[in-house]
Structure 1
């Protein structure tokens, strides 16, 4: 399950499975996962609400909590991301977190379109989950 906090100017939200604002992002994330034979899903509004997770709370959520929510949703793992638009970088700044074997891995990409940000997320997750360590 992808838990993604998104911010562009004064607009900020947690990406969920139903919101029309996130349709292109959800589609792009799914497209990024296909070449690595991974599947991604997104939490529903109800799941986020029941867990008390809006975009701000997601930023500070423990990975153990997100992994538990992912398992309840029928997924194997939680991937957390923060996507912030930067005029200075002329693109998105994406921070990613994934926990495995008691360690939380963190990686980032700057100044990219969200398609590339999601490819970086999926490649990083695949690297960690395959036992090949920290993404660059």
Structure 2
């Protein structure tokens, strides 16, 4: 086998992997789309199995824009969920120094005792 044969072999492997990625993306989009009823989903799947290259090309031409819009909506939803999770787990965001300063102010005003201040300080530092 010559170098060019190897390069050609790697090129076709690359094309095949790219085709599989596109095909999996199309199958995922078909099942993610709530606008298509079951029969249309089945027809698209049959078309992709019977004529895979032509079916993938037609699907990308006909439904490519809405496929991208659904993908972006899913990403925005996932980003919003992640942001909400981060906000919920981050807490108040006050630093330990801020919490100790608030506890000291409460101690000086007489609102809490020295034992309460020590407990709040240990909680802020720990």
Specify the TM-score bucket, using the shorter chain as the normaliser.
under 0.3
Structure whose residues are more often helix by fraction: 2
> Who wins on radius of gyration, i.e. which is larger?
2
TM-score w.r.t. structure 1 length? 0.22
Structure with larger RCO (C-alpha < 8 A, sep 6+): 1
